[in-house]
Structure 1
């Protein structure tokens, strides 16, 4: 996924089964939602928490904020 802005972006790792998430920046937060349930719940991260979350997914190890 490229740089985030206020537009919902679909993950570049979207599977062929429709198993994907969308992300955007909303104010000073990063928001994530299920692309199949756009009116459903949204996960909200601070920028530091988002960076740690992505690093954890990429490497399996959490980084310090």
Structure 2
């Protein structure tokens, strides 16, 4: 993956990764978020040396709020 200002090619270079408390550890579709950074890094929990996407704090908060409200529906037409 090409590096851009909104991605980190190797997310293992960052610290503070954690999984959601909603993740029971057996799910294949888990995301991890890293605390303590100016932007919010997000990565696939199965790809710890893979890329991370960077979200602004406001962007990440808006995304999480929309998910909690059910506003992002898969396969929505």
TM-score by length of 1: 0.70
Q: Tell me what 1:12 maps to.
A: 21
CA contact (8 A) 1:13 1:20 kept: no
Structure 1: gaps (5+ residues): 1-5
* Poorly superposed stretches of 4+, deviation over 6 Å: none
Structure having greater relative contact order (Cα 8 Å, sep ≥ 6):
2
Higher strand share: 1
User: Max radius of gyration: which structure?
Assistant: 2
Count of aligned positions:
57
Structure 2: gaps (5+ residues): 1-14, 73-77
Q: Aligned-pair RMSD on alpha carbons?
A: 2.1
